[in-house]
Amino acid sequence: MDRRCVALCAAACAVLALPAAAPAQVTTDLNNWNLTETPNWWGGGTQFHISSSGDGTASYRWLDSPNKTTVIAAHRCTDVSLINSVAISVNNTSYHHLFSAWAGVCFMLRGRTAIGSGSMVNHDGRVRR
């Protein structure tokens, strides 16, 4: 086997060994979201869409460690119906799966604090889709 063949084989092996490209999720930061025990809409009802480049899921996380249990819900832009909601515990900054769909699906986010826990002010979050 000549050197050129070895080099070609090595290059081919290197390409095959590369992991498949991960889907490129789109993220948007939600800065200073003030939550109370009454649900309120992020941005007065900002519309988000499941991206074409992602994996077809929508997730939410707090960037600032939350000092209250919060409930974040995704609602459809078409008829305001609820898609799903997740409860996020105190100090939890992991992503929480909201729903799975397909590219283009439009949704809005609504949040509140746990009943009896009072308000949570100026916390930043991130939606990934």
Partner 1 sequence: MKRLLALLILAVAVFGAARSGSAEPVAPTRAVADALGRDIPLPAGGNFSGVRWEQAGELSREQITAVLHYNAACQWLRAWRDGRAPVTALAGLASWPAWRGTETAKVLAEVEHQARTGGGPLLEGVLRDCDASHAREVEYARSLGLKPSG
Given the rule CB under 8 A, which residues bind partner 1? 38-41, 44-50, 52, 75-82, 101-106, 108, 110
Query: Residue 15: which H helix or E strand, with range?
Result: helix 3-17
Least distance to partner 1, CB of residue 61, Å: 19
Residue placing its CB nearer to partner 1 in the complex, 86 or 92: 86
Residue placing its CB nearer to partner 1 in the complex, 56 or 69: 56
Q: CA–CA separation, 114 vs 70, rounded Å?
A: 6
**Alpha carbon distances (Å) from 57 to 22, 24, 42, 103, 127:** 14, 11, 19, 9, 10
Least distance to partner 1, CB of residue 54, Å: 12
Amino acid at 49: H
Residue placing its CB nearer to partner 1 in the complex, 47 or 93: 47
